[in-house]
Amino acid sequence: MSAILPPGQRLWWKQPLDRVEVTWILIAFTWCMVMFFMMPYWHVYGKQNLSTETYRTTPEAFAKKAQAVIDQYTVRTETDEKIPVVHPPAGADVFLIARLWSWQPILELEVGQTYRLHLSAMDYQHGFSLQPENINIQVLPGYEHVVKITPNRAGTYAIICNEFCGIGHHKMVSKLYVK
């Protein structure tokens, strides 16, 4: 009746169970249910639930919309590359373009305010990774993902790319300010 031999009985499914097994199965099953219901629970009571609001888009269409917001709310530029710093009003729609190998623009947000952040990629897949907060969202070309974010601490954050996107992947890093 070892595991590499056939079961010792033809009617092996009639063998009564040991209490160790029964007890463990019941405990494990209960824990599985707790873990399962934790997810819907957090959708009701938690504050961190990734939105599913998504639209199909094209790189051109998304870049155009993003540029309009950049033109409207740019307050200054940074670095030699003159990356625009955008300070939108609370509750505004803000856009973040992921492309090889940069994030545009730099966002300047306010603590406690909620923004509708639109994410899309111009070329390959990218990974939005907000540090040191460690919030990570996949960014796909052709999809415009709208995520409502509410910064809860002031500071200078970094947005790094954490989806491999080619040789310059490690240079794809930007800033985000919360005031």
Taking CB under 8 A as the criterion, which residues in 87-126 touch other proteins?
102, 106, 114, 119, 123-125
Q: How far is the CB of 56 from other proteins (least distance, A)?
A: 9
C-alpha 45/C-alpha 50 separation (Å) is 14
Q: Which is nearer to other proteins, 25 or 75 (CB)?
A: 25
Exposure on the CB side of residue 106, measured as CA atoms within 13 A:
20
**Cα distance between the two ends of the chain:** 69
Span 56-75, contacts to other proteins by CB under 8 A = none
Of 69 and 85, nearer to other proteins (C-beta) is 85
Footprint (CB under 8 A) of other proteins, residues 146-175:
147-152, 158, 160-167, 169-175
**CB 176 within 8 Å of CB 94:** no
Residues 6 or more apart whose CB falls under 8 angstroms from that of 64 comprise none
Q: How many residues bind other proteins (CB under 8 A)?
A: 96
